[in-house]
Structure 1
Amino acid sequence: MCNFTVIENGTELKMRNTAYALVFGSVTTLGLPLNALSLWILLRRHSLKSSNAVFMVNLAISDLLLVISLPMRVYFYATGTWPLSPLACIWITMLFRNNIRSSSIFITFICVDRLLAVVYPLRSRHVRTSSNAWKSAALVWLFVLVVNVKESVDLSRFLNSYNQSTCFQSHCRSPLMYFQPVLVFIMLAVNVVCTALVSWTLHSHLSDSARVNNKVNVMLIFVMNLIMFTVFFLPLSLAVLFESWKPALTALICLASVNCCLDPLLYYFSFDGFWRRNEDMDISVTRQQLNTVQTE
């Protein structure tokens, strides 16, 4: 059974709510064109035959779904009223929660894909296929939708019991609330391990010239992954766990929404340089290993 608590919206919070509206509005203004352009270029100019491209496309879709839900948050915090139905509130709330979950998973998939490409370039080629990537992405979306069912039921009960103007001021504490923090912690741990393994591999096996030319580019994506988790995903997950953090919950939601503006910059704009060079490095490593086998 879900116990509900409500964050009251008094007149003393008017300036704070205005700040929330400005943040969500800025994220919408910046995030919509960035993610739409990134998705268009990925689909039109880059082949979806590589696993990393597939994960990037799904990451862009996740961010776009978040962005299209933000204008109603802007309206809510600017006016203090909710003009739509409770069902619309549920849908918009789920879009935000889905972004945190799906983005953390797709970012981790990209991280694991790069780990396999750098550490196991030969043995991982039959795993790092677009077919497997699309299957993985489909499972992620199915998983996220299944989780939505329980949460939507809980939120619907709350909205039917209280005035619907409390849409984004509600906080439902239920056993399922621990799902998101656990997911984020697991994904963060995977990213930390992948970063350590790739760093060790690059330091141990690349020549000095290769290390100078490629190591910074290769490690940048892993460092940015960790920043994404620790700055945007982790604080909100901790706020869900600890009651004392509840007053800062909306501010942390604002912070978490900014991740959709950085994903295109961190991943798409690294695509032309980092991904191509990394794939070329995979081919070079493969040829070297094949030559070694033939020589033996």
Structure 2
Amino acid sequence: MHVYAAVYGCILALGLPLNAVSLWIFLRFHSLKSTNAVFMVNLVISDLLLVISLPMRIYFYATGTWPLNDIGCVSITMFFRNNIRSSSIFITFICVDRLLAVVYPLRSRHLRTPSNAWKAAALVWLLVVVVNIPESVGLFKYLNNISEPICFELIQSDEPTKLVYFQPVLVFIMLAVNVVCTTMVSWTLHGHLKDSAKVNNKVNVLLIFVMNLVMFAICFLPVSASLLTYSKTATMPSTCLATANCCLDPLLYYFSLDAFWKKKEGPDLEL
């Protein structure tokens, strides 16, 4: 238990400043004038919502007691689940946006607009809220049948609801989209890698897709698979790995936007 408290403590110590600084950079330097920036800001918000829930996880695993009521337990559990779902979708949106910019740069200009990006982001958060309602009701009913004030261990592995299949299905679909996008972009860039003037930018583009796949493989797939097995021994370590995505996402921001620390004066022109 104390090991998990230490791991979550490290994630909190890294994730909070990294995402806070990333959000400040986006708002200060990039002005949300590109689809990429819009999706990344929403990804930062998702990570920050996860980070602010970590102190209670640290307290729980450090002391073995849960000091809050059922509402607190359900809320923090939802913060975690919402992060996995929204992060996987926003990362996929970033992947698709890069695909359109590389493979269909002219035909996709009317689609790759900030207004369309905000509409897509709003739909994602609406989906998250809609799923939260029945899921939260099911968690409350489950907690009412437990005599001990225990939160994360039981609620993540034994919860009897069909909605438990939503997250694994969503993650596997998003992974499939990322794999297809990665393949198409690799084929497109393969014939142009001899252009030394743009090779660095193209390497960054490929790194974005590789990082997305690594994120799914390390952070999203294990915890989603553990939900289907109802195994406590698998759920707790995979939850730690999933939570670490809030520390890895800032790397995605750095490689996705040219001149990440510099102010962008015009529209998004990078690949």
* Same fold per superposition (TM over 0.5): yes
CA distance in structure 1 between the partners assigned to 2:191 and 2:149 by the alignment: 58
User: Would you say 1:228 and 2:221 are equivalent positions?
Assistant: no
Deviation for aligned residue 1:161: 1.6
Q: 1:187 aligns with which of 155, 161, 174?
A: 174
1:263-287 Cα distance to aligned partner (Å, 9 max, x none): 01222464234898xx5466xxxxx
2:258 — aligned with what?
272
Deviation for aligned residue 1:44: 1.2
**RMSD of equivalent CA atoms:** 1.9
Unpaired segments ≥5 residues, structure 2: none
Q: 2:130 aligns with which of 140, 143, 146?
A: 146
1:146-177 Cα distance to aligned partner (Å, 9 max, x none): 10111101110111121352111213032111
Percent identity among equivalent residues?
Answer: 70
User: Would you say 1:53 and 2:37 are equivalent positions?
Assistant: yes
Deviation for aligned residue 1:207: 4.8
Q: 1:65 aligns with which of 25, 49, 59?
A: 49
Which of the pair has more CA radius of gyration?
1
Closer, same or farther: CA 143–185 of 1 in aligned 2, 3 Å: same
Contact 1:191 1:225 in 2 (8 A): yes
2:66 — aligned with what?
82
User: Would you say 1:212 and 2:199 are equivalent positions?
Assistant: yes
Deviation for aligned residue 1:238: 1.0
Deviation for aligned residue 1:232: 0.7
CA distance in structure 1 between the partners assigned to 2:174 and 2:39 by the alignment: 15
1:187-234 Cα distance to aligned partner (Å, 9 max, x none): 000000000000100113565325633321110000000000011100
Q: 2:161 aligns with which of 154, 174, 183?
A: 174
- Number of corresponding residues: 264
CA distance in structure 1 between the partners assigned to 2:204 and 2:67 by the alignment: 47
TM-score, structure 2 as length reference: 0.92
Deviates more, 1:65-74 or 1:167-176: 167-176
Contact 1:113 1:128 in 2 (8 A): yes
User: Would you say 1:93 and 2:77 are equivalent positions?
Assistant: yes
Listed as ranges, the matches of 1:189-204 within 5 Å are 189-204=176-191
More helix by share: 1
CA distance in structure 2 between the partners assigned to 1:219 and 1:273 by the alignment: 17
Amino acid in structure 1 at the alignment position of 2:202: K
Unpaired segments ≥5 residues, structure 1: 1-16, 283-296
1:6 — aligned with what?
none
1:246 — aligned with what?
232
CA distance in structure 2 between the partners assigned to 1:145 and 1:209 by the alignment: 47
CA distance in structure 2 between the partners assigned to 1:252 and 1:214 by the alignment: 34
Listed as ranges, the matches of 1:157-168 within 5 Å are 157-163=141-147, 165-168=149-152
1:236-281 Cα distance to aligned partner (Å, 9 max, x none): 11111124x43221111011100001101222464234898xx546
1:293 — aligned with what?
none
Closer, same or farther: CA 134–240 of 1 in aligned 2, 3 Å: same
1:121 — aligned with what?
105
CA distance in structure 2 between the partners assigned to 1:119 and 1:26 by the alignment: 39
Deviation for aligned residue 1:42: 0.4
2:241 — aligned with what?
255
TM-score, structure 1 as length reference: 0.84
Amino acid in structure 1 at the alignment position of 2:58: V
1:290 — aligned with what?
none
